[in-house]
Amino acid sequence: MQTYGSNKLKTACDIVRRIANWPTAFDLRLRRTQAGLRLLSFRDGLNVVCRRDTRDWDVVHEVLFAGGYARAFNYLKSLPGRPLVLDLGGNIGLFSLRAAASHPAAEIYAFEPGPPNSRLFEMNRLANAGLMNRIHLREEAVGGQTRSAEWSFDEMNPGGSTLFGSGGPKFTVQIRAFAEVVASLPAPVALAKIDIEGAEFELLAATPPEAWQRVGAISLELHTDPAGKISQEEFFKRMAGFGYQIEEEKVCSFFLHR
């Protein structure tokens, strides 16, 4: 996975320029060891609830300040009609909120299996009344096969919680096969965001080619195969075989498109 650096002075200026209650944002950055929720009110109307004692702020910075998923959002803006967006690994809902704000008619179907994250996702959905009706949240994981499994919650880095962890609180969650999810949606997927902490490898291994043909573009955060069977290079080779061109995003992900 790629990494990126942050310019602290630029971030501070951007916080003041873009967030109405900017002292709350500085509190999130500087007093992370204290528990509690904080609401960020962006000047463009977006509202985001974060946990202060976690890396939620880092996710806010990646998606809303550092240009995360920039190619994907620009692609989404260019689409006509009512594009369907699939958000796998919804975390606290930032990608879904940005997608809904980027296209006035986009319908977003988000999957987040972990109760601590999905509860906050729902809070963020409700905090954005103008977007909430186009964001459909399902408290499920997506992988290669439909089943139930144990999901490990990373209390410091909730976005890094995984089906393959050994520490932290455990939750039994429902997993839906990617092919099943795609087939159940009311239209082909214009854009899928996949950030599922290693489960993308089992998804690749078990999903038939015809399911990929129903997905126009993908914003992918690629991890290391937990089973050690597929290298990242082989992953991209197989995705190219499904007809995708692969571009590196500025921040921590790849954009695959036809």
Tokens read off for 97: 């909120």
In the chain the domains, ranked by start, together with CATH numbers, are 67-257 (3.40.50.150)
- Confidence at residue 31, expressed as pLDDT on a 0 to 100 scale: 79
- Confidence at residue 6, expressed as pLDDT on a 0 to 100 scale: 67
- Confidence at residue 5, expressed as pLDDT on a 0 to 100 scale: 55
DSSP sequence for 19-78: BTTHHHHHHHHH-TTS--EEEEEBTTS-EEEEETTSSHHHHHIIIIIS-TTHHHHHHHHT
The secondary element (H helix, E strand) that includes residue 245 is strand 245-248
Sign of CA dihedral 204, 216, 222, 25: negative
Q: Where are the alpha helices (H) located in the chain, listed in sequence order?
A: 8-18, 22-30, 56-60, 70-77, 94-102, 115-126, 129-132, 178-184, 200-206, 209-212, 232-241
Task: Say whether pLDDT at 1 is over 50.
Answer: no
Tokens read off for 227: 């089973």
Residue with tokens 């609401």: 39
* 2 pLDDT tier (thresholds 50, 70, 90): very low
Q: What is the mean pLDDT of residues 155-172?
A: 94
Rg, Å, the chain Cα set: 18
* 91-to-60, 77, 81, 177, 211 alpha-carbon distances in Å: 11, 23, 27, 19, 24
Q: What is the mean pLDDT of residues 24-33?
A: 86
- Confidence at residue 30, expressed as pLDDT on a 0 to 100 scale: 83
Task: Say whether pLDDT at 126 is over 70.
Answer: yes
Task: Say whether pLDDT at 40 is over 50.
Answer: yes
CA dist., res. 29 & res. 33, Å (int)? 10
CA dist., res. 91 & res. 161, Å (int)? 9
CA dist., res. 201 & res. 209, Å (int)? 15
| b/e 1-25 (16+ beta carbons within 10 angstroms → b) | eeeeeeeeeeeeebbeebbeebebb
- Confidence at residue 32, expressed as pLDDT on a 0 to 100 scale: 76
Tokens read off for 213: 């043909």
CA dist., res. 256 & res. 247, Å (int)? 6
Task: Say whether pLDDT at 148 is over 70.
Answer: yes
